[in-house]
């Protein structure tokens, strides 16, 4: 047998060492990342045939792509599925193939470097061992739930068995990823090693076939209980966890995952048709289709920065308030040098303190990385950084004259090719731009609060904005890993102009006597991440009044209660009271109060909330839909899909609907 066999596979490469160890590299043809498409899987079956003929002493599966291990199933193939039967066949293909891999006679090991998602992790789980490479890019996840489907290629079977049902269900129900160190800690990986010894580690572990150290007795007992007598209890807890976030009617997948683990041994194919957890229920619900649509919308936004090779190294932010400070922090996290300017160092200090906390969270206690990131965030009370910056972002208070004189000064000091951007939400870009000698240099880069959390950034094209400036601004937004949405300069751009009328309608309902809790409950039930009244409290009642005026003109009459609350200094979350009272950053709602009074001993169940009146959510959403449609008609956004993308990623609008315009088109109206 020659040490290196030549095969005519397109995607796989098999190499046999003298030691008897075989290395199998996945290198999907004509792709930058590995995905498990039908032909990749078909070839893999062929590889297993060849290995069966002459079994190696051990097999290591790795990726030949620098991008990562395996990104998952092929979403394109998945979105083309036209019937439940086709979907069932897709699940079956992977399920059977990975069962075959799991049953081979020789030891197998997945060497995981970079992303290992969905089907990729299910393949790795079907191996006997896993080694993860300790690099920031190494991420393991079963994110199927985010696309409204279930990890049907053995993930639901093998992950709970490997790391225990509690941790496994948590990963599968949230779709969140774990890094290399955490994968080792969870027992998902046998070992976590630096890249310099990864081949050596894979060889030693695969050939020695050393079994993992048995778990401590307590953990073994716990797992036995959770897989045995306590199974139902664990499942109920997981269902409750899912139900706190989403409803089963809109999101069947997470509940199906729990059912399939609890009752069907992790085998989705075993669920009888017609069951609430069956593949036909999941694949025939619009949710999966819509979530795939949302995925594609996201890919479309991501593509916006692609035509720019702009690689900004230095960002200068003027205004160290919450918004400016967070923008600066996010840029520093992405490796850029950031100078943060405000009138005094005392005004900059709170932003540095907030950034330090953010960095500690994001770097997960890696003290050196926290320090390097903080080193890149430079307080700059004199604004020296403006002369050196590739991007200058203004995020000061909304005052036209101050902004105009600031930009005149910035233009004089900035490098000739630096991007000059304003984060204004309520002033006209054109009114600011005329303060510049070259008004075509000004672009809007509009972030949303809280900046570290929200993915969308509106890139605003003013009447005069130069196309290249726009391209660079968009490229910059991608470099900080946000989703750029190109919008035309118009009051409120897209997101605020659709949120304004929506929040106003919610406040009108309150004005008419509907309890704020009721309004919020109706919209949360629809699928919004937060009720509109709570949202008003969160953004601040004063801001809401000002934004309302800016959007609707001075003549518009804000709701009387809103004005009264502002008059009393009750500005919402920031002042401790608005429509709700706020305790520890949380709104106190009528239902919660009962529970709190109940105390530990008399844990009264809260009175069941009164039924939500029919049509309440639709009423509050109608102005949002109208505003979204208007933005498309006026050309504020390029097309209806982009409008949906903007509203979903900018407001959290119920993703399972596929976006406001999409669900209107499908159903005529929401719900």
Q: Binding to another protein by residue 187, rule CB under 8 A?
A: no
Site string for another protein, 365-384 (x = CB under 8 A): ------xx-xxx-xxxxx-x
CB nearer to another protein: give 332 or 551.
332
CB nearer to another protein: give 57 or 354.
354
Q: Residue 417 Cβ, how far from another protein at the closest point, in Å? A: 15
Among 56, 68, 148, 385, binds another protein (CB under 8 A): 385
Q: Which of residues 508-547 bind another protein (CB under 8 A)?
A: none
CB nearer to another protein: give 313 or 665.
313
CB nearer to another protein: give 212 or 382.
382
Catalytic residue among 11, 446, 656, 662: 446
At residue 606, φ and ψ (nearest 5 deg) are: -60, 145
Output DSSP code: residue 659.
-
The partner residues of 424 in beta bridges, in order of sequence, read none
Is 458 among the catalytic positions? yes
Q: Residue 413 Cβ, how far from another protein at the closest point, in Å? A: 11
CB nearer to another protein: give 68 or 324.
324
CA 592/CA 413 separation, integer angstroms: 54
Q: Residue 385 Cβ, how far from another protein at the closest point, in Å? A: 5
Decide: 60 and 202 in contact? Cβ < 8 Å.
Answer: yes
Helices of type H across 17-118 = 38-53, 75-79, 84-102
Tell me the number of residues near another protein by CB under 8 A. Answer: 25
CA atoms within 13 Å, Cβ hemisphere of 539: 21
Decide: 253 and 144 in contact? Cβ < 8 Å.
Answer: yes
Decide: 160 and 199 in contact? Cβ < 8 Å.
Answer: no
Q: Residue 314 Cβ, how far from another protein at the closest point, in Å? A: 9
Among 5, 64, 243, 353, binds another protein (CB under 8 A): 353
Among 201, 256, 348, 487, binds another protein (CB under 8 A): 348
CB nearer to another protein: give 234 or 338.
338
Is 446 among the catalytic positions? yes
Crossing angle for the helix pair 252-264 and 165-174, nearest 10 degrees? 150
CA 480/CA 328 separation, integer angstroms: 11
Helices of type H across 115-216 = 119-125, 155-163, 165-174, 180-186, 198-208
CA 216/CA 548 separation, integer angstroms: 60
Catalytic residue among 496, 497, 534, 662: 496
Site string for another protein, 59-88 (x = CB under 8 A): ------------------------------
CA 628/CA 493 separation, integer angstroms: 10
Site string for another protein, 306-345 (x = CB under 8 A): -------------------------------x-x-----x
Decide: 469 and 440 in contact? Cβ < 8 Å.
Answer: yes
CA 330/CA 71 separation, integer angstroms: 26
Q: Residue 379 Cβ, how far from another protein at the closest point, in Å? A: 6
CA 443/CA 419 separation, integer angstroms: 8
Among 67, 166, 356, 546, binds another protein (CB under 8 A): 356
Residue 217 corresponds to which tokens in the numbers above?
Answer: 């007795």
Is 200 among the catalytic positions? no
Among 350, 558, 606, 638, binds another protein (CB under 8 A): 350
Q: Residue 195 Cβ, how far from another protein at the closest point, in Å? A: 19
CA 563/CA 557 separation, integer angstroms: 10
CA 666/CA 671 separation, integer angstroms: 10
Look up tokens 């950031």; give the residue.
338
Look at residue 538 and give its three-state secondary structure: helix
Is 296 among the catalytic positions? no
Q: Residue 348 Cβ, how far from another protein at the closest point, in Å? A: 7
Among 57, 181, 363, 388, binds another protein (CB under 8 A): 388
CB nearer to another protein: give 176 or 388.
388
CB nearer to another protein: give 219 or 346.
346
Catalytic residue among 177, 250, 285, 425: 425
CB nearer to another protein: give 350 or 652.
350
On the 0-12 / 13-18 / 19+ scale of CB atoms within 10 A, 466 is: middle
Other CB atoms within 10 Å distance of the CB of residue 492: 23
Catalytic residue among 144, 394, 411, 458: 458
Helices of type H across 486-587 = 495-511, 516-526, 532-539, 541-552, 560-567
Closest CA to 132 of 171, 188, 67, 175: 188
Q: Residue 469 Cβ, how far from another protein at the closest point, in Å? A: 23
Q: Residue 278 Cβ, how far from another protein at the closest point, in Å? A: 53
Quote the radius of gyration of the chain (alpha carbons, Å): 27
Return residues touching another protein (CB under 8 A). 337, 339, 345-346, 348-350, 352-354, 356, 371-372, 374-376, 378-382, 384-385, 387-388
Q: Which residues are catalytic?
A: 425, 446, 458, 496
């Amino acid at each position: 047998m020659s040490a290196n066999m030549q095969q005519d596979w397109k995607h796989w490469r098999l190499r046999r060492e003298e030691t008897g160890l075989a290395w199998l590299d996945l290198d999907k043809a004509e792709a930058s990342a590995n995905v498990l498409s039908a032909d990749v899987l078909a070839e893999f079956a062929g590889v297993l045939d060849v290995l069966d003929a002459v079994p190696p002493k051990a097999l290591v599966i790795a990726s030949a792509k620098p991008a990562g291990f395996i990104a998952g199933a092929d979403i394109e193939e998945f979105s083309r599925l036209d019937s439940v039967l086709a979907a069932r066949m897709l699940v079956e293909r992977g399920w059977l193939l990975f069962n075959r891999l799991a049953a081979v006679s020789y030891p197998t090991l997945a060497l995981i470097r970079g992303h290992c998602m969905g089907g990729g992790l299910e393949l790795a789980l079907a191996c006997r061992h896993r080694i993860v490479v300790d690099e920031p890019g190494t991420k393991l996840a079963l994110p199927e739930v985010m696309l409204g489907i279930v990890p049907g290629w053995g993930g639901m079977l093998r992950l709970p068995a490997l790391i225990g049902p509690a941790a496994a269900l948590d990963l599968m129900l949230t779709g969140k990823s774990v890094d290399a160190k955490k994968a080792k800690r969870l027992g998902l990986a046998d070992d976590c090693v630096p890249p310099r010894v990864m081949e050596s580690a894979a060889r030693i572990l695969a050939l020695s076939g050393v079994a993992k150290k048995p778990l401590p007795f307590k953990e073994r007992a716990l797992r036995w209980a959770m897989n045995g007598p306590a199974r139902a209890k664990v499942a109920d807890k997981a269902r409750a966890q899912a139900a706190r976030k989403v409803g089963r009617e809109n999101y069947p997948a997470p509940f199906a995952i729990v059912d399939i683990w609890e009752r069907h041994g992790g085998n989705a194919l075993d669920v009888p048709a017609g069951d609430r957890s069956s593949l036909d229920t999941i694949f025939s619900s619009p949710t999966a289709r819509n979530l795939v649509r949302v995925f594609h919308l996201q890919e479309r936004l991501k593509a916006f920065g692609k035509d720019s090779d702009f690689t900004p190294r230095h960002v200068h932010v003027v205004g160290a308030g919450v918004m400016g400070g967070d923008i600066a922090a996010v840029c520093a996290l992405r490796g850029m040098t950031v100078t943060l300017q405000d009138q005094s160092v005392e005004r900059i200090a709170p932003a540095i303190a907030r950034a330090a906390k953010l960095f500690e969270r994001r770097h997960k206690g890696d003290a050196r990385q926290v320090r390097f990131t903080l080193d890149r965030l430079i307080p700059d009370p004199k604004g020296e950084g403006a002369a050196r910056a590739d991007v200058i972002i203004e995020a000061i208070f909304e005052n036209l004259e101050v902004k105009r004189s600031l930009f005149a000064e910035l233009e004089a000091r900035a490098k000739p090719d630096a991007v000059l951007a304003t984060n204004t939400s309520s002033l006209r870009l054109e009114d600011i731009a005329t303060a510049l000698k070259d008004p075509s240099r000004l672009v809007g880069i509009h972030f949303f609060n809280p900046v570290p959390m929200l993915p969308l950034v509106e890139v605003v094209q003013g009447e005069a904005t130069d196309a290249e400036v726009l391209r660079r601004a968009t490229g910059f937004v991608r470099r900080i890993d946000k989703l750029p949405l190109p919008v035309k300069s118009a009051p409120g751009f897209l997101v605020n102009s659709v949120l304004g009328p929506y929040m106003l309608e919610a406040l009108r309902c309150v004005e008419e006597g509907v309890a704020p809790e009721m309004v919020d409950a109706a919209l949360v039930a629809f699928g919004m991440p937060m009720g509109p009244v709570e949202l008003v409290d969160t953004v601040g009642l004063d801001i809401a009044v000002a934004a309302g005026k800016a959007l609707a003109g001075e003549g518009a009459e804000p709701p009387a209660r809103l004005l009264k609350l502002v008059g009393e200094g009750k500005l919402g979350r920031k002042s401790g009271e608005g429509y709700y009272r706020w305790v520890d950053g949380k709104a106190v709602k009528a239902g919660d109060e009962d529970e709190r009074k109940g105390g530990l001993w008399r844990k009264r169940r809260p009175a069941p909330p009164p039924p939500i009146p029919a049509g309440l959510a639709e009423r509050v959403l109608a102005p949002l839909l109208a505003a979204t449609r208007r933005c498309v008609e006026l050309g504020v956004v390029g097309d209806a899909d982009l409008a949906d993308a903007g509203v979903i990623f900018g407001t959290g609008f119920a993703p399972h609907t596929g976006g406001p315009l999409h669900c209107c088109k499908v159903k005529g109206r929401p719900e």
